[in-house]
Amino acid sequence: MSYTPTSSPGEVPVSDTTRIQSLDILRGIALLGILVISIWEFGGFTANEQTFYKTGTHGGNYNLLTAVSILFEGKMRALFALVFGAGIILFLQKKDHPVPISPADAYIRRMMWLILFGIFNAFVLLWPGDILFQYGVTGLLLFAFSGIKTRGLFIAAIVCTLIYCGKHYWNYADDKAGYKKYTAVMAVEKKFKLDSTARARKDSVDRTKDTILLKETLIKNKLDDSLAKKKDTLTGKQTEEKGYWEGRVKGFKYDSAKTKAENKAMRAGYLKVWTHLMQRSQNKESFWLYRIGVWDIGSMMLFGMALFGIGFFSSRFSSSTYFIIALLTIASGLALAWFRIHMNDIRIADYEKYIQKRAIPYDQFFPIERILMATGYASLVIWLLRMNILKWLWRALAATGRMAFTNYILQSVICTFIFYGYGFGYFGRLSQLELYFIVAEITLVQVVFSVFWMRYYTMGPLEWLWRCLIYRKWLPLNKQSTLSSELDEG
């Protein structure tokens, strides 16, 4: 199967029978790549466990963790959002809906159902790392941008990326302010200790003179000392400021007790796991989304919409252009990733020293890193497609990408059953390398399943359900039924 664009430059395919192959393939790659990072949370390789390797001797586990972080962390979600953004324009320009409906109405229904599926994934299947809810909400917000020109989409993507960078600096500025308050409190405590030492010396002198001092004078001195001690205590606000910073620093150190508590909770029954994860899921679907998520996801979706507008995914440019884009963006992204990892190691080793000497946070350029790497990966794949090699691989990945929704939910079902207590209970029992073997096994199963399914059906089972819910009609699923329906309508 040679790669040929499904449309000429500037044209957009609008029917289900005319697809942009690169989008399906990239969606499949992103879906499988997301699991490489998600497996950390699924399997109990928590941030606390990662800290153990980052602050240790930097052996094999550290090197493996670093490599995975550089190549996958944030990049696969970014690539998925990039393709999702392109899909927004593709869906809104679609003409052949199975029922009479405006594209806008169909799109809004599509996002609303995606939000509900995300809630189900997070609060029933118990996957706190769900992205469906965030994609649905962000997709609704970006509907207003779907009609603007490509240049406007690029500008909007850049603005969102800069705001995302600003959010990182804002959080770091909060820590800097917290550290200043902490140093001020420590200065007060130091003064208290000096005053206490001075009072102790004075009390010692008074006791040696108690034979010549009047009784009333001794009583007065004791009363003054008692009042001074009451003043030499931190206020509630000062105590809170001190506790905030000490807790922040403590969070950078490995805590074995925390790991034991997490393992115990996640190896329990369904209700206990649900209770344990509830706060985390609520935080991800609310606090994280409105503070960070809309800029994180929105920037990539807008960029994907813009790239779609210039024909990037339709193979508009020459092979050499795609190769140069891939080379430059991946190289730049790797440099920023190395900087992030290096700065993070320094930060974890001594955050107080880091915050005193560093003007920016370790992840200041992470939003730029991920947009570069995602674009580079997309360019590399399209370039390889143009080389007309690995045909069998592209067919398999395209099938996986066309069933991305089904496969994403299946990942939640499979992984929670493997790792949570109401399943096999392997949470926290496997090494980092063993977790990646699990990823490889799940990937193989999903790719094979997708290839065989797509031989007989037009879309994945959950894609079909989603489509039926959007159009409020029982639609055909297998290829023969679809063909017969089209002939009848014709």
Residue 237: the pLDDT is 83
Task: Note the residue count of the chain.
Answer: 490
Helix H or strand E encompassing 341: helix 319-349
Band of pLDDT at residue 2, cut at 50, 70 and 90: very low
Sequence-separated (6 or more) residues with CB below 8 Å from residue 212: none
Residue 194: the pLDDT is 66
Q: Name all contacts of 50-55 with Cβ < 8 Å and 24+ positions apart.
A: 51/252, 51/253, 51/254, 51/348, 52/254, 53/432, 54/344, 54/345, 54/348, 55/253, 55/254, 55/348, 55/349
Radius of gyration in angstroms for the set of CA atoms belonging to the chain, rounded to a whole number: 29
| pLDDT tens column, 181-225 | 998 888 887 776 765 665 556 555 555 555 445 555 555 555 555
Distance CA 291, CA 271 (A): 29
Band of pLDDT at residue 178, cut at 50, 70 and 90: very high
Between 89-93, 156-160, 191-195, the lowest mean confidence (pLDDT) is in: 191-195
Residue 482: the pLDDT is 55
> Does 230 or 405 have the greater pLDDT score?
405
> Contact 402/24 with Cβ under 8 angstroms?
yes
| pLDDT tens column, 390-446 | 999 999 999 999 999 999 999 999 999 999 999 999 999 999 999 999 999 999 999
Q: How many CB atoms lie within 10 A of CB 471?
A: 17
Q: Name all contacts of 284-288 with Cβ < 8 Å and 24+ positions apart.
A: 284/122, 284/128, 284/129, 284/130, 284/134, 285/118, 285/119, 285/122, 285/130, 285/133, 285/134
Q: Determine the average pLDDT of the residues in 360-382.
A: 97
Distance CA 52, CA 48 (A): 7
Between 51-60, 345-354, 399-408, the lowest mean confidence (pLDDT) is in: 51-60
Residue 186: the pLDDT is 85
In the chain, the percentage of residues whose pLDDT exceeds 90 is: 75
> Contact 384/2 with Cβ under 8 angstroms?
no
Residue 402: the pLDDT is 97
- State yes or no: pLDDT of 235 exceeds 90: no
Domain ranges of the chain: 21-169+262-317+374-456, 179-250
Phi, psi (deg, nearest 5) at residue 478: -75, 155
- State yes or no: pLDDT of 30 exceeds 50: yes
Q: How many CB atoms lie within 10 A of CB 364?
A: 20
